[in-house]
Structure 1
Amino acid sequence: MKQELLTKHFTLNELTHSSLALRRGLYNQPDVEAASNLTRLARHILEPVRAHFARPFRPSSGFRSLAVNRLLGSKDSSQHITGQAVDFELAGIPNRLLADWIKDNLVFDQLILEFYRPEEPASGWVHCSYRAGDNRQQSLIFDGTTYREF
């Protein structure tokens, strides 16, 4: 099966894959607008990260249908639903280092270091969103209970 490339290194399949959707038999494919958003996200966030850190990686979560998003307990306002957000980690790179690099070098809407514990550099993951137009450059750490800026 041929995979539709969004950018040089990222496919539509990678950014729409959901084990939960597969297990539950849920449709998890973006409409045209969300697919365009995924392309922008790959171009402006994922490709620069891959180039800078010089290593391939696979996002853990990109687009989510509303049904998948609700099953995960996420808010209906999640940018994953519109194809504007992605969660990822890079093997061997501390998540804080990854988030700091994104904050200092890329245009983004929202950057969240989720479930990160400083004493465990590989803990948590990076959530990053990008949207056409104005991006807020909002940088947050979420510990599972509260958000704070970083």
Structure 2
Amino acid sequence: MNRNEKLSDHFTFGELIRSETAERKGIDNFPPDYLIEKLKRICSDILEPVRLYYGRPFRPNSGYRSPELNAEIGGSSTSQHCKAEAVDIEIPGISNYELAVWIKENLKFDQVILECYRQGEPNSGWVHVSLKDEEDTNRKIALTYSNGSYSNGLHA
């Protein structure tokens, strides 16, 4: 698949596999073909609704991660990024807390995690969103990750 190929109206394959670490370290971050449909679903069910609601262009921070890349950055061995089931996003000018709450209230998801957000700094951190293939297996878990630990719910 070509990096410029669109997975949806506003998002390309290249945006979902982009990684400065992979480029710097020479790590192959191309997913197996069978994961492409999952990336398309992340685009159609998560990224496009967010883009349409906020009306602002944005680029995902992290989408698919190869197991090698995930290990290099110290990611969890069970990371949904390696299964093409997760994306990390932030939108310039939009509070990441507000974004996480909107996703929780309006979209289908497995997990929405407000990561590294600092109260009083609306653009701090990012929002991790995951989505499983089988709709009935999505847990609808909302968490906040701060100072090395997770807590239930979204906390500003």
In the alignment of these two chains, the number of paired residues is 150
**Structure 2 equivalent of residue 114 of structure 1:** 115
Distance 2:148 2:66 in 1: 25
Distance 1:26 1:33 in 2: 20
1:2 Cα deviation from its structure 2 partner? 6.8
Structural mapping, 1:92-131, within 5 Å: 92-131=93-132
Distance 1:93 1:47 in 2: 16
Unaligned segments of structure 2, at least 5 residues: none
**Structure 2 equivalent of residue 46 of structure 1:** 47
Query: Alignment RMSD, CA only?
Result: 1.1
Q: Deviations over 1:102-131 (max 9, x none)?
A: 000000011100001112111100000111
Q: TM-score, normalised by structure 2?
A: 0.93
1:138 Cα deviation from its structure 2 partner? 0.5
Q: Deviations over 1:54-88 (max 9, x none)?
A: 11100011001111101111111100001110011
Unaligned segments of structure 1, at least 5 residues: none
Stretches of 4+ aligned residues off by more than 6 angstroms: none
CA change 1:2–1:78 in 2 (3 A) is closer
Counterpart of 1:141 (choices 138, 144, 148) is: 144
**Code of the aligned partner of 2:122:** P
CA contact (8 A) 1:40 1:131 kept: no
Q: TM-score, normalised by structure 1?
A: 0.96
1:98 Cα deviation from its structure 2 partner? 0.3
1:36 Cα deviation from its structure 2 partner? 1.2
**Structure 1 equivalent of residue 25 of structure 2:** 24
Distance 2:147 2:72 in 1: 17
Distance 1:144 1:15 in 2: 27
